[in-house]
Amino acid sequence: MAAVRALVGSKLAAASAFASLSPGGRTPSQRAAIHLSAPHPAAKVALVLSGCGVYDGTEIHEASAILVHLSRGGAEVQIFAPDIPQMHVIDHTKGQPSESESRNVLTESARIARGKITDLAKLSAANHDAAIFPGGFGAAKNLLCCIAPVLAAKVLRGVEVTVGHEQEEGGKWPYAGTAEAIKALGAKHFVKEVAEAHVDQKNKVVTTPAFMCEAALHHIHDGIGAMVRKVLELTGK
């Protein structure tokens, strides 16, 4: 089970109307002004990991896709994870706990970050325009904070999120029941396809179903790309 969440700083506005103008719609003087102006600063995004592996940490495909799309969008990324023991270690070949092992969340997350990672305790919201939380069971097991759509619904009353569809549809959406849990907490669930993202403009929360759907990997990658684009649009950078 996995879904991707992104939180954007509440003080930030959406991208300006000027940025949406096509080059053909501008006068020569307007085009010259654009070329002479200083480049926009890159959006500063915190990526928060919860280990390495879907059953006890971060869903690796989701984290990788997020990094690819952030890179393509020109964002400045800093990766974080808590310096704490994992709740437990899962043998991913069996889907069962490995009783004899214990691992550290920061150390395991560093595998995905290629060693460039910072203790989550040092994350300051003032230094970032947005934070993105990949899915994976480690999000609930190791972070113990409001990141999963259900927990977001519990903390942000009336928040809008998506985990995809609300019916299992023959196993295509195996975690569809999560939508009802979200609505029971007073939040609003929006039905979206796996390649789509939903934006809560008021709370500046962006979600995409990702592996909540049994879909081809490229469709999940596309949905994460849609989410990242929406996040960067909200930062206005």
What positions carry a catalytic annotation?
A: 146
SS3 category, 49: coil
DSSP count for the chain of H helices, then E strands: 7, 11
Q: How far is CA 98 from the centre of its chain?
A: 28
Tell me how crowded residue 184 is: count the other CB atoms within 10 A of its CB.
11
Q: Which residue reads 């997020």 in tokens?
A: 66
Sheet holding 76-81, edge to edge: 118-119, 76-81, 44-48, 130-133, 4-8, 205-208, 198-200
Catalogue the E-assigned strands of the chain.
Answer: 4-8, 44-48, 76-81, 90-91, 96-97, 118-119, 130-133, 160-164, 188-191, 198-200, 205-208
Residues 233, 227: Cα–Cα separation, whole Å? 10
Q: Which residue reads 């390495």 in tokens?
A: 52
